[in-house]
A and B are shown apart, each in its own frame.
Chain A
Amino acid sequence: GAGVSQTPSNKVTEKGKYVELRCDPISGHTALYWYRQSLGQGPEFLIYFQGTGAADDSGLPNDRFFAVRPEGSVSTLKIQRTERGDSAVYLCASSLGLAGRGEQFFGPGTRLTVL
């Protein structure tokens, strides 16, 4: 079946604007994760959903960041009042969740550039 998909692949915005990044997980995967990867660094955890609820949002840097997964499948990461420091690749991953062994499958990422 299809892997994890993310849209858009690239997003350029101006400082202060609002952006939404979308993730479509692998069908049947109950767990969904958002990570942020800056150049030359490892992915940094942001938030994790188990079904519709956020099981762990400890990685969200501040209240400008918010994510939803209303039907337990597609998720949207929302960033308000973007700042230049938000520029990074935002990666989404999914896994079978509690029923699985922990393996996470990553999407291709959305490259966000804040000018």
Chain B
Amino acid sequence: GENVEQHPSTLSVQEGDSAVIKCTYSDSASNYFPWYKQELGKRPQLIIDIRSNVGEKKDQRIAVTLNKTAKHFSLHITETQPEDSAVYFCAATRGASKIIFGSGTRLSIRP
């Protein structure tokens, strides 16, 4: 069945350094890949997304890359700040259908 694998499960980086989270998906029909940030006790918030016809997308300090052939996609956060600490979820979906989420990465930014 459909599956999204996410690594690492925890990540600790020095403030100002970069963080990278990687995901793979199984459903080759997936065409939309959102990334969500979830702070403790809060709802998931969309931070960036990418569609299958694009290889890379950037929004300020956040970028996402997609390799459809390998079914890999990654989140890159540069110049990390304390407020970036949260759990990040990658996900894959076919347009308006159900989202399949990864298991999450707990990102901690060390001062």
Query: In the bound complex, how far is the Cα of B96 from the Cα of A98, in angstroms?
Result: 6
Bin chain B's interface residue count: 20 to 34
Task: Quote the shortest CB–CB distance from B74 to chain A (angstroms).
Answer: 17
What interface size band does chain A fall in?
A: 20 to 34
Contact with B along A86-115 (1 / 0, CB 8 A): 000001010111101111111111000000
Q: Which of A41, A91, A105 contacts B104 (CB 8 A)?
A: A41
- Pairwise interchain contact B46-A103, C-beta atoms closer than 8 A: yes
Chain B residues within an 8 Å CB radius of A55: 97
The distance from the CB of B25 to the nearest CB of chain A, in whole angstroms, is 13
Q: Decide: A108 and B98 in contact? CB cutoff 8 A.
A: no
A20 CB–B CB distance under 8 Å = no
Give the nearest-CB partner of A108 in chain B: B43
A33 lies within 8 A of B101 (CB): no
- Distance to closest chain B CB from A57 (angstroms): 10
Question: How far, in angstroms, from A102 to B100 measured CA to CA in the complex?
Answer: 13
Asked if residues B32 and A102 are in contact (CB atoms below 8 Å), the reply is yes
A-B contact pairs, 12 of them (CB 8 A): A33-B98, A33-B99, A45-B98, A59-B98, A91-B43, A93-B99, A96-B96, A97-B96, A101-B51, A104-B46, A106-B45, A107-B43
Residues of A that sit less than 8 Å from B by CB: 31, 33, 35, 40-45, 48, 50, 55-56, 58-59, 91, 93, 95-98, 100-109
